[in-house]
Structure 1
Amino acid sequence: QGLKNAPATFNRCVTHLLRSVRDFAPSYFDDVFIHSRAVDGKLEVEMHSEHLRRLFALMRKHKLYANLKKCIFGASEILVLWCLVGKNGVRPDPGKVRAINEWPTPSNVKELRQFLGLATYLCKYVSNYAGKIRPLSQLLKKDAAWVWTAECQQAFDAVKQGLTEAPILAVADQDRPFHVVRSNATRSRGT
């Protein structure tokens, strides 16, 4: 059995070795994502080629190797942790959204937990997610009786609908001012 902290140690090591290209090539464990924009009269593809050369030189220096079968070059959008990431922003993986939309109505706590496990992973795309799932969360309480009410069905359908209409979440432009706004809703705080 391996070390329990080996993945975190590996991630920290890769992040440290690739720190000089972090501005255009962030890493997540053994995945490196290169994003390139047109700059100083150079086209996106020219910048992307330059970024690739810099990354590969750094990898060569540190004896890091890429599996070419797993590499994707020049894509306008890539799948990262159940999300499609592109120059316009981030959106949920259509396959996961389809799986949620095809999910049958839960008939017991185990099935509800399975549904919520998948849906909660993509909750950032559903406005007021915690508020919408409140009736479903009540069924998960320790001594709650399993009674699937019309309110539960509405909550279940609202989550599905919210993901179907999921917005593309824009990536913050660090060169422009932006504001973080927090809701004062007290009933939707993970209780």
Structure 2
Amino acid sequence: MNWVCKPYLDKFVIVFIDDILRYSKDEKEHEEHLMAILELLKEKELYAKFSKREIWIPKVQFLGHVIDSQGIHVDPAKIKSVKDWASPKSPTKIRQILGLAGYYRRFIEVFSKISKPMTKLTQKKVKNEWGDKQEAAFQLLKQKLCVHQFWLYLKEAKILSYISMLRTKGWELC
């Protein structure tokens, strides 16, 4: 889908596999963007399934994030259990926690510095001793994830549109 939407990527479109996220400043621009995308899809013989399309919405959940006119946020549903996490004691558990936290690293300032004491315990030939440094890093990561702070912004995006596309060559999939 990236090659199809290439002319509009990072201008007013974000694509992930067969999902298209469209963002606009106002209703007029939103309508223009919608028409441009629909024309492009028609040209390439791609069809949107109406039951999967959402347009004229102020907020959308997309790839584990919530996107609205204020910017990109951590999806609260994805991290609601974070505050109840117990301290990980094994390298496997540490990797699992660092994996989720790493997905949201863009929301955590100096993520690699904070997570370093935990990351060291996942390396081979390092004795697995959970200490005060690791516990402090773990608690700080949990705190940062639960704050839902955001600092990624879509340029003046006010209206969002999310279209899930199916390459059906005209056939409606059930």
Q: Please tell me the residue identity of whatever aligns with 1:25.
A: V
Task: Tell me, yes or no, if structure 1 residue 33 matches structure 2 residue 24.
Answer: no
User: Number of matched residues?
Assistant: 155
| Structure 1 ranges of 4+ moved more than 4 A | none
1:17, 1:62 within 8 Å by CA — same for their partners in 2? yes
Q: Please tell me the residue identity of whatever aligns with 1:74.
A: W
1:100, 1:115 within 8 Å by CA — same for their partners in 2? no
Counterpart mapping for 1:148-163 below 5 A? 148-163=130-145
CA–CA distance in 2 between the matches of 1:46 and 1:26?
A: 19
Range with greater deviation from structure 2 (54-63 or 162-171)? 162-171
Distance 1:18 1:151, change over 3 A: closer
TM-score (norm 1): 0.72
CA–CA distance in 2 between the matches of 1:24 and 1:88?
A: 16
CA–CA distance in 1 between the matches of 2:144 and 2:14?
A: 30
Q: Name structure 2 gaps, 5 residues minimum.
A: 157-174
Q: Please tell me the residue identity of whatever aligns with 2:99.
A: G
2:69, 2:154 within 8 Å by CA — same for their partners in 1? no
CA drift of 1:173 comes to: 4.5
CA–CA distance in 2 between the matches of 1:127 and 1:19?
A: 31
Counterpart mapping for 1:56-135 below 5 A? 56-135=38-117
CA drift of 1:74 comes to: 1.4
TM-score (norm 2): 0.78
Paired position in structure 2 for 1:53: 35
**Of the two structures, which has the highest relative contact order with CA contacts closer than 8 Å and spacing of 6 or more?**
2
CA drift of 1:172 comes to: 6.4
Post-superposition CA distance 1:90-131 (Å, at most 9, x none): 111112221322322213111111111111111111121111
Q: Which has the higher strand share?
A: 2
What secondary structure sits across from 1:34 in the alignment? strand
Counterpart mapping for 1:166-181 below 5 A? 166-171=148-153, 173=155
CA drift of 1:16 comes to: 3.0
Q: Please tell me the residue identity of whatever aligns with 1:32.
A: I
- C-alpha root-mean-square deviation of aligned residues, in Å? 2.1
Percentage identity across aligned positions? 23
Q: Name structure 1 gaps, 5 residues minimum.
A: 1-13, 38-43, 175-191
What secondary structure sits across from 2:47 in the alignment? coil
Q: Please tell me the residue identity of whatever aligns with 2:3.
A: H
Q: Please tell me the residue identity of whatever aligns with 1:71.
A: R
Paired position in structure 1 for 2:4: 17
Q: Please tell me the residue identity of whatever aligns with 2:5.
A: L
1:101, 1:160 within 8 Å by CA — same for their partners in 2? yes
